[in-house]
Structure 1
Amino acid sequence: MIAAVAAIAVFGALALAIGTATRISIASGTGELARARADLAADAGLAIAEHGLVAGEDAMLGLVRGHEHQFDFDGSRVTIRISDERGKIPLSHIEGDMITRMFAQAGLSGEQLAIASDSLQDWMDDDDQPRASGAEAFYYAQQKIAPRNGGLLSVDELARVRGVGPVIAAKLRDSVTIDRDVLSIDPAYAQGPALAVLSDGGDLSPSALARQRETQGQQAVITITKASDFLNRPMTIAVDAEAPGGGHAHHEAVIVITGKAGRPYVIHAVR
């Protein structure tokens, strides 16, 4: 019911916004209209997923287990995916070997791996002494930026670190988190890259091994069967929308379901 009401509200907003987008397209071409329609469809997907999680709808339960949901919205094809932030690599709370394994999973090796690993640790620590292959304020001065000397504020910030750059940051985007509630990797929800960060070929905990088997299609580990299973879990809703005319939009939101009637969910981030 909640999702149905949300969908009606979104359709109303869509009708108004499409009118605006149509006027824009007259002045700037059909490409603008296609992008506007994709943005609106992606927003609709976010709203439907948010309210579906609050209501504990079966379709949303399946998404948290790793499936995806597709539907048509005013001619646009919308795909929704949901992932648990607790199964991702907490960028601001890992160090040493875990950072090295994370970058190795992204394809770095040798000197490049050492530079990225040391530089990320330098970026987050509170001193100005660079590690052997790292970088501190002096290195970044010409770029007119400075190390954070603390936890990262966004995944995009990772691209500014020496030795990382936008290509490696993009490879890691779906595997890392900066959510304030995630301090360590929960093996029960981790995907391949996060599991590799937990142990470099060594023994994993029983729950990590079980999760590893699940990712290989051998068994199901995550058991989410009712709305209360969503409570107090930071989850990312990722929506892709493809509109007629080539429009594409990708929207994400990290939300936490509270179970409270007055404020059923809290948004941690929108991107």
Structure 2
Amino acid sequence: MTGRDDGGFAMVTAVVAVGLFAWMALLFLQAGRGDAVLARAATDRARLEAAADAGVMIALHGLGQENRTLRWPIDGTARTLSFDGTALTVTVEDERGKVPINTASPQVLRQLLAGIGLQGEGLDALQDAILDWIDGDDAPRAHGAEDKSYLAVGAEMLPRNEAIRTLEELLEVRGMSPESFARLAPSLTLLEAGAFNERTATPLALMAMHQSSANSVEVQNRARDIAGAGRPAIEITQDISLKGRPLTLRVEARRPGGAALTRIVVVELTSDPDQPVWIRRSR
């Protein structure tokens, strides 16, 4: 993203173009006069997709502001806006404020799992199972699991015995429930991108990396910052350079009828005017 005056115009034009393409798609869908329920669902889906993409573009525009007072924060603060009648909740997350799951120590991993409420045998089993999934051997830990345990229950995927490639892969680990994954995922990163940044960290990541409790002063203060009851976001991130810094753009789009969609894009801003943004990952 550059600081030239035409940058904002180009971004707004891109957002408008997304909206126009969405409306064209809607016209084709409605012209088919198919089943009313299916058509309505397809219409909502098209609007959700367009709105989520627009949310990503709007966030990129906010991150590209040269004026620091206008630039969007990267500390996970949520923004609410609307596009084509679709409600959007947009957050920008610093990947350096998360736990690097592939290189996390057993102590950090244990504190992370305890932070989402696991304890006792359940905590022991999931901690060892995650470590067994990532390590390079086939020997299970005391409470862990390797190929034999997964084959016994007909699992479609066996431990990789190397770095996890997608966060969703953790759902294949023995003992990982969808609920636990949903609580963990926002505080995890696959990227090894510089030192941990406590100023932009999620409270859970801060607790794990600093081996502190949920009631510690630093974790409580960070939670208040994100909730908007602590320091202003600009004060937290004003001196942080965004160039070359991996960021997650998370857009939750919701239609009035309740249909919803979440778009997650990991980007990296560059200094190259011909390619101002790299898309690292999108889902």
TM-score bin (small chain):
0.7 to 0.9
On the 8 A contact 2:73/2:237 being kept in 1, the answer is: no
On the 8 A contact 2:202/2:222 being kept in 1, the answer is: no
**Cα distance in structure 1, aligned partners of 2:275 and 2:23:** 27
1:267 corresponds to 2:250: no
**Cα distance in structure 1, aligned partners of 2:33 and 2:144:** 49
Provide the secondary structure at the position in 1 that maps to 2:236: coil
Could you say which residue in structure 2 is the equivalent of 1:188? Answer: 199
Superposed CA RMSD: 2.5
What code does the residue aligned with 2:171 have?
A
Residue of 123, 143, 166 corresponding to 1:154? 166
Provide the secondary structure at the position in 1 that maps to 2:141: coil
Deviation for aligned residue 1:54: 2.9
1:147-203 Cα deviation digits (max 9, x unpaired)? 111111111111111122322111111111113x4365322321210111123338x
Q: Which deviates more from structure 2 when the two are superposed, residues 153-162 or residues 123-132?
A: 153-162
1:20 corresponds to 2:20: no
Q: Write the mapping of 1:209-248 to structure 2, written as runs, cut at 5 A.
A: 213-216=221-224, 217-219=229-231, 222-224=236-238, 229-248=241-260
Deviation for aligned residue 1:210: 6.1
In structure 1, list runs of 5 or more residues that go unmatched: 203-207
1:104-156 Cα deviation digits (max 9, x unpaired)? 11221101100001111110000011110001111112213211111111111
Deviation for aligned residue 1:25: 6.9
Deviation for aligned residue 1:101: 0.8
Classify 1:114/1:126 alpha carbon distance in 2 versus 1 (closer, same or farther; 3 Å): same
**Cα distance in structure 1, aligned partners of 2:89 and 2:274:** 29
1:171 corresponds to 2:183: yes
On the 8 A contact 2:75/2:199 being kept in 1, the answer is: no
Q: Which deviates more from structure 2 when the two are superposed, residues 160-169 or residues 242-251?
A: 242-251
Provide the secondary structure at the position in 1 that maps to 2:261: strand
**Cα distance in structure 2, aligned partners of 1:187 and 1:194:** 9
What code does the residue aligned with 1:191 have?
T
What code does the residue aligned with 1:146 have?
L
In structure 2, list runs of 5 or more residues that go unmatched: 1-7
Classify 1:24/1:193 alpha carbon distance in 2 versus 1 (closer, same or farther; 3 Å): farther
Deviation for aligned residue 1:23: 4.3
On the 8 A contact 2:132/2:145 being kept in 1, the answer is: yes
On the 8 A contact 1:195/1:212 being kept in 2, the answer is: no
Percent of aligned positions that are identical = 30
1:257 corresponds to 2:269: yes
Deviation for aligned residue 1:268: 0.7
Provide the secondary structure at the position in 1 that maps to 2:71: helix
Structure with the largest fraction of helix: 1
**Cα distance in structure 1, aligned partners of 2:274 and 2:88:** 29
Classify 1:147/1:253 alpha carbon distance in 2 versus 1 (closer, same or farther; 3 Å): same
What code does the residue aligned with 2:202 have?
Q
**Cα distance in structure 2, aligned partners of 1:148 and 1:212:** 36
Residue of 15, 37, 40 corresponding to 1:30? 40
On the 8 A contact 1:3/1:52 being kept in 2, the answer is: no
Classify 1:81/1:264 alpha carbon distance in 2 versus 1 (closer, same or farther; 3 Å): same
On the 8 A contact 1:115/1:134 being kept in 2, the answer is: yes
TM-score normalised by L of structure 2? 0.83
Could you say which residue in structure 1 is the equivalent of 2:208? Answer: 197
Provide the secondary structure at the position in 2 that maps to 1:117: helix
How many residue pairs were aligned? 263
**Cα distance in structure 2, aligned partners of 1:23 and 1:174:** 40
Could you say which residue in structure 2 is the equivalent of 1:98? Answer: 108
